[in-house]
Every structure is written in structure tokens, then in C-alpha cells.
Structure 1
Amino acid sequence: MNFNLALPVGTTLDRFIMRKEKDFPYATGELSQLLRDIALAAKIVNREINRAGLLDVTGGFGQQNVQGEEQQKLDVIANIRFIRALRNGGEVCAIISEEEEEIIQTGNKKGKYIVAIDPLDGSSNIDVNVSIGTIFSIYRRKSETGCDGTLEDCLQNGTHQVAAGYIIYGSSTMLVYTTGNGVNGFTYEPSLGEFFLSHPDIKTPATGTVYSCNEGGVNSFPEGVKQYLNYCKESGYSGRYIGSLVADFHRNLLKGGIYIYPSTAKAPNGKLRLMYECNALGFIVEQAGGKASDGSRRILDIEPTELHQRCPLVIGSAEMVDKVEAFMKSEVAV
């Protein structure tokens, strides 16, 4: 076999952002800089993850976050890195983080943006070298500049997002984002320290044959979800569940498939967080031609009432999401 091992010269993330500035609703440069700040923090977190097995940064931190989940050491490290980058960038007035109970005021009272972020999704998989990720969502503040960000600024529904994205730290590190004009993916080249455009204008297949769901709790799933999972098995679909939301979503986005995290007896409102998981991925999948639902409603239409609000999530190829909603609707009708 002959392989061309020469590294092609491609479009860097910085160059791509500059070219696309004209697509931004407020093309004054702040959003471009904010995306660069997130990319910088992602490079630093990527370095820490790659060194995790050699340094004492794996395992639990010994505390729980606001969600009642045990914090991993890299959760704390990633949270610090992203908050520091967003503060130093000067474009963000307030941050919602999975790791912090209250709104984080950056001190940048002239900042025009709010960022909601899960600094390290799936971090319990670090110790076993499984792909993990970062998820972020960006909103334009509603209040006047010159003061701290407000709760109203932070609690906007998903239709108000101006950008959203995720970073997946896997066999390669990728940053995937949208500003409402399609979805593009960039792969990190560590020897050059640059993200290069590798997946332009991502379109997710209309349907697929993969379903991603933790079936360990199937006995407490809604009847409609149980019926859909039986339908998948009868249709010969493949079950693929990594346990890292970003990793499962990324695979299904590229290849077609559906991710389901329904309500359960233990988590009647679902487990995933609306503001920094569901909204961000919902925006991305819609821009790629897919759908995101809580089983009956479009995710982006849900009005948030809490910073750490939870909701069920059904996301992926449009026809597959429609099928789940049909099963859920028939359950309600019965």
C-alpha cells in the first residue's frame, strides 16, 4: 500500500473565521475573537488530556459539582482553563458552567456575549482512555453593556444562540461549530498547533441504522421509547453507546443515527442539561439537517427557567427523531 504522508496545507480555523465574518449577524470581530479564545483553551485542555496518564490528573477530585456528580481532576482543570480564556478574551460578560452553581461574572462589563459550557463532558471515561469532549453555546446578551450579565441574559432559549460547538478529544482532536450558516469541522494538528478545516459543510444523513442509548435503565423508560428500541432491534439496527455524549453525537452526526437519553424513574426530567448540552447540540444538528427533541417538543423552543435545567434528549437523523416522536405520541394517545 502506498500512503501519501505529506501534510496538506489547508485552511486554518483562524483564516476560516476571518473569511466567514460577513456571515455573522454582528460582524464587528467580537464573536470571531470569542471563537478563537475557545479554540485556544481547547488546545490547552487537549494537552492536559494527552498527558493525563503520565501526570496525577486522573481520578476523582474529592468533591461533587452542583449536579451532585463526583468531579474528576480534569473537570476542574478544564473549567479553570476555559473560564480563564473567556475572561482574558474580554468578549464575554458572564458564563454558565456545569461545574459552577451560580453565574460566573467575568468582570468584562462591556462584553456582548454569554457562554454556556460543559468544560469536559464524559470525564469519567478519562481513566480508561475513552473519547471525551467540551460543549459550548454562545448567546448575545440582552441587557445593556456596562454592567454584569443578568439571569435574563443567561436564560435564553436555544433559538437565540449565535454560535455553538463542541470539541472532541479522541484519536484526533476536532472542533466542530456553527454560527447558523452550516456546520464545519476542524482537526487539530499538534505539531503546528493549528486547527485545520477537515470536514466542511457537514450534512448528517436523513436516517441511519445506529441507535445510542444506555439500555441499562430501559425498565424505567417511557413506553414510547421502549417501543422504539424494540423497533430498532427488529429492524436490525446496531446499538452503539460510548457513554460520552460528544463522542456518541459526533459519530451519529457524521454517519447517521440517533442518540436517546429519555426521562427515567430516577431522573423524571431527564439527565442532560438544557443550556450547555442540549441547546448547543440541537443547534448544530439542525444546521446539519437533523433534529433535536425532548420526545415531543423541539429542543430549541424550550424556555429555560434554571441555569442547570435538565431535559430528555432525542437527537440525530431527522427521520429517526420523527419516528421516536411518533411512538411517544401514540403512547400519549393511548
Structure 2
Amino acid sequence: MTVSDPVVESIVATISRSATEIRQGLIGRRSTVDEENPSGETQVEADIWADELLGDRLRAIDGVGQYASEERAEVDDCGDDPATSGSFAVAVDPLDGSSNLKSNNAMGTVFGVYDDALPARGDALVTAGYILYGPITTMVLATEETVSEYELTGGERTVVETDLTLPDDPVVYGFGGRVPDWPEDFQAYAREIESELKLRYGGAMIGDVNQVLTYGGIFGYPGLESRPEGKLRLQFEGNPIGYIVERAGGRSSDGSQSLLSVEPTELHDRTPVHVGNADLIERLEDRLA
């Protein structure tokens, strides 16, 4: 599958070609640095390196008006305003799950291409995707028409599936956050789900969401008693993942509405994130209501 807009296709091609280099570049960059990202999380060397690599390459594309990253405090203006000019804004989580580097577990890269200035609602996305650095490097890419999966090697994309949809019969679930910190209504919902589905939770959202897309089910990082807004960032994680899952026939929710309908106020806004089969999300919203 190719993306119809040449600028958007150039963005996707640049990210996919960079994936092999990013994966190889993780070697020797597993240590933490004496810095925090704008959300107050400890960075590892690979976070900063991957952000600089993707930022330099994406900002150089003619038609990219803004670049934003989970690792940067502000939006980088690199062209015309996407809100008025027809250019695009790219929001990236360069290394989702980088805390998994220490234990050498799965992680990924998440990106969204918006046709509006950041911060933007998820319904302004025209394309979103993620790269999973697992045993095989793969990319899941969603457009307005379909969701496709690729294997990435040597800078090339090989199509695995061109019309990826969630299986009708859900199998797996994964919920983030410390259980004692879950609100009571979410705890009650989780008790129901754990009696029906198999637990699959690896500490990197990308890996857990990919399990849901492969086998059907639900992933959630709820609002917590200590942090009602949740942990995940709307622009860099919630919106792109919500877009992908909805295009694959599932649903996304912040607990009461589609993630794509959430009005952002700041670039690094957090949000509860729940994605998966529609009936499981509907049950969740009923429980939280």
C-alpha cells in the first residue's frame, strides 16, 4: 500500500527507511542520561539519539510544517503553518518503551501525521503508524482507507497484510499502571476481563497493542487514583494508536469518548488510553460511567 499524498508518503518512507538504522543504533545506547523528557521521565541515550535522527530527516521534507516529539518541550516549526498552508505536522514518540532497553525487551516508534497545527485532535490525522522492534522489525500503517502491516529490512518494506482488522473473537488483554492505583470501577472491569481473556503485558505500549491487533482483545492504561489523566501522551501515543485501531475495525476511548474526539490543550497532554474490540470498549465505558 502506498499513501496517496506524496508528502505523506515521503514521511512514511523516511520513517520506515530509518527503522533498521534505529534498531542497530540501540546497541551501546542503553544507559540513562542525567536528563528528563518534558513529561518528567528519565531518558536513555537512545531516546535522544532516535529523536535527533528522525527530527533532522523529517524536518528536511518539503511539505512538513511542524515536527514534534515526546522528547522535545516545544513544537519545531520547519515550514508553513499546517493549519493554513496545506502542509503537515508530524508527531513522533521516537522510542516507545525505551525503559525496556535495559532488559532487552520489545519497544517501538510511534508516529502520526496531522493536517492541522499541533496540538491537534486525533480526527485531524491523515496517517498514523508504529514500528515494532521485535524478533522481526515490522510496521503497521493506517490511512483513511485501510491498515497494512509490513516487514522492514534493509530500508525496504515487504507487505505482510494489506487489510488488517481486529479478529472478531478477542483473546488477550493488557492493562498498565499499578493495580492498587486503579480506580475501583476500573478494577471491577479488569476482574471481569481477566476471567475471560489471557494476560499479555510487556511494558511497552507498542508491543501490547500489537498483541491486540494480532489476536483481538483490549489494551488499556487507565486514569489512576494518583494521576487521573493517565500516563500516555495524547499527541504522540493516544491519537495515533486510537486512529490505527479504529481504522482496523476496533474502538478507542479515554473512558467516555473516542480518543480522536479529545480536545487537546497542551502539546504534552496525557490521557487515559483504551483500545480494542468494540464490545470490550463499550463495556468499559458503561462500567466507568
TM-score by length of 1: 0.82
| Percent of pairs with identical residues | 33
State yes or no: 1:297 paired with 2:257: yes
Count of residues in Structure 1 that have an aligned counterpart in Structure 2: 286
List aligned pairs for 1:269-288, cutoff 5 A.
Answer: 269-288=229-248
Amino acid at match of 2:145: N
Matched residue SS, 2:173: strand
Which of 171, 194, 200 is equivalent to 1:209? Answer: 171
Residue 146 of structure 2 corresponds to which residue in structure 1?
182
State yes or no: 1:100 paired with 2:62: no
Contact 1:90 / 1:111 at 8 angstroms: preserved in 2?
Answer: no
State yes or no: 1:324 paired with 2:284: yes
Residue 17 of structure 2 corresponds to which residue in structure 1?
40
Which of 203, 207, 228 is equivalent to 2:189? Answer: 228
With over 3 angstroms needed to count, the CA separation of the structure-2 counterparts of 1:207 and 1:96, relative to structure 1, is farther
Contact 1:293 / 1:315 at 8 angstroms: preserved in 2?
Answer: yes
Contact 1:95 / 1:103 at 8 angstroms: preserved in 2?
Answer: yes
State yes or no: 1:81 paired with 2:53: yes
With over 3 angstroms needed to count, the CA separation of the structure-2 counterparts of 1:181 and 1:62, relative to structure 1, is same
Structure with max Cα Rg: 1
Q: How far did 1:277 drift?
A: 0.3
Matched residue SS, 1:327: helix
In structure 1, what is the Cα distance between the partners aligned to 2:86 and 2:34? 34
Q: How far did 1:230 drift?
A: 1.0
- Superposed structure 1 runs of 4+ greater than 4 Å apart: 107-111
Contact 2:149 / 2:159 at 8 angstroms: preserved in 1?
Answer: yes
Q: Which moved more, 1:217-226 or 1:67-76?
A: 217-226
Can you give the 5+ residue segments of structure 1 that lack an aligned partner in the other structure?
1-15, 22-26, 142-152, 330-334
List aligned pairs for 1:104-183, cutoff 5 A.
Answer: 104-107=76-79, 112-141=87-116, 153-183=117-147
Contact 1:135 / 1:276 at 8 angstroms: preserved in 2?
Answer: yes
Matched residue SS, 2:60: helix
In structure 2, what is the Cα distance between the partners aligned to 1:39 and 1:255? 24
Q: How far did 1:108 drift?
A: 6.5
User: Which has a greater percent of strand?
Assistant: 2
With over 3 angstroms needed to count, the CA separation of the structure-2 counterparts of 1:207 and 1:293, relative to structure 1, is farther
Contact 2:235 / 2:269 at 8 angstroms: preserved in 1?
Answer: yes
Can you give the 5+ residue segments of structure 2 that lack an aligned partner in the other structure?
none
Q: Which moved more, 1:174-183 or 1:100-109?
A: 100-109
Q: How far did 1:111 drift?
A: 7.6
In structure 1, what is the Cα distance between the partners aligned to 2:18 and 2:88? 17
Residue 245 of structure 1 corresponds to which residue in structure 2?
205
Residue 144 of structure 1 corresponds to which residue in structure 2?
none
RMSD over aligned Cα atoms: 1.7
Amino acid at match of 1:269: E
Contact 1:206 / 1:318 at 8 angstroms: preserved in 2?
Answer: no
TM-score by length of 2: 0.94
Residue 150 of structure 1 corresponds to which residue in structure 2?
none
In structure 1, what is the Cα distance between the partners aligned to 2:135 and 2:256? 35
Q: How far did 1:87 drift?
A: 1.7
In structure 1, what is the Cα distance between the partners aligned to 2:195 and 2:86? 52
Amino acid at match of 1:321: I
In structure 2, what is the Cα distance between the partners aligned to 1:227 and 1:267? 18
